[in-house]
Structure 1
Amino acid sequence: MTSTVPPQQPTRRPDATGPAVSTAAPDDATSAMTIVPQQRSAPFVPGATQAPASGPGSVRISGLVPSAPAHAARPGAGLIGAVAAGVLAILGVAAAIAIGFATTGTSPAPVATPVAPPAPSTSQLLAQWRDGGGLQHLTTISGDLTSVGEAASRYDVSGMMSACYSLQNDIESAQAFTPVPDVQVQSSWSAALASGARSAAYCVAGAQQLDPDLINMSTTEMNDMTSHLDDATARLNSINGI
């Protein structure tokens, strides 16, 4: 006669609150047991945005991750490149106008006798203006423009802003200097300085605010400055018979 042993019932401690734990010995089919930790859902965080992340329970919290800046780290590369191109154009014209002043002859020599000297020619007056500081202003402004162009070619916004500050100050000094002793040259020179001053102001503001529109306006004024310097050069060449 074969006796039947009833299956052993799970036992529970009187003070236990968890599920009953079986004390029966495992059979061969269940002798290997893998413990899998329970997956926890992410805690609710006010303002959090749930998004399918790489792992379970991931939470993306809006407001803690810095948002992208409203403007790029620098204005459009094409616009800054346009500044560099505009500077090269001005430098070419500035060199031409410097040559124009250089070929206007010499300043009138002082007269030792009390006899009234002949009236100096326009060419002599222009040479006097050139030698008396006019050419130095042109050279200084050209140097500032070179610095602006070099910074723009490196996409160095900070360096471009600094160079435009210098350009702004040196143009103001040139505007306060003695007018060119020729009406047409002075008109073109004055207009060129006015355009250059606006260009420098837009350049500084555009670099400070990283605003491509202001950089574009600076380039437009720079092109106008080039045009006015072209007119001044043409007048000088006319005076010099070139």
Structure 2
Amino acid sequence: MARPDSFLPLAQESGLIRPITDQIIERVMRDMGAMLAADRSLHIAINLAASEVCSGRFLPGLQQHMKSFNVLPGQVWLETTEGGYMHHQSAKLTLRKARALGHIAAVEDFDIGSSSLQSMGQLPLDALKIDKAFVNGIGMDGSVESLVSDVIEMATTLKLFVVAEGVETREQLDYLRAYNVHFAQGDLFAKALPIEAFEQYYRGETEDCREARDVFGLFPSFGG
């Protein structure tokens, strides 16, 4: 098993990221298409490399796959890192096109800094994801908690959805809920699951799912 950060930089440099992206989109629709079509409240997030966001070449193929499975654009969130498009006009254009089609655009691994906060309002975004590194500091580091609350407040002002990554404890969840974070994901709800196990989880057929409903009140967010 190889972690993505060990091979994705090479894939981007060599151009192999294009077939990898195509394979991910095809697999996501094959695995999740029927569930997404049956439940319009369900969404899946697809992580995109910066080069793919800049080129936008994945959009026609994604639209074709979604049409084949009767999946709505709003059920497919498109995620990339802040550095993927913060200063690239071509990437901003891609995200504007995607949003015009009905997709949700999200930024992850957000850098909590003054320059980033000032630039965020200029980006074509719908959602902001708070990195696990900052969520880990909740209940342990008051300065980190202050930063997290500032980011949540900023996102609320910009009318962005907020997603907290890497939630592992009930204390973290309670803090995030107190600040009206919209979605949370992490080991508190479930470990990463193969599609068969996720389908059982989603349908409420496991004890983990019932516990997640108890602590969260609704299904957490799942990224692809």
- TM-score, length-normalised on structure 2? 0.25
Determine which structure has the larger strand proportion and give its number.
2
Larger radius of gyration: 1
Relative contact order, higher structure (CA 8 A, sep 6+): 1
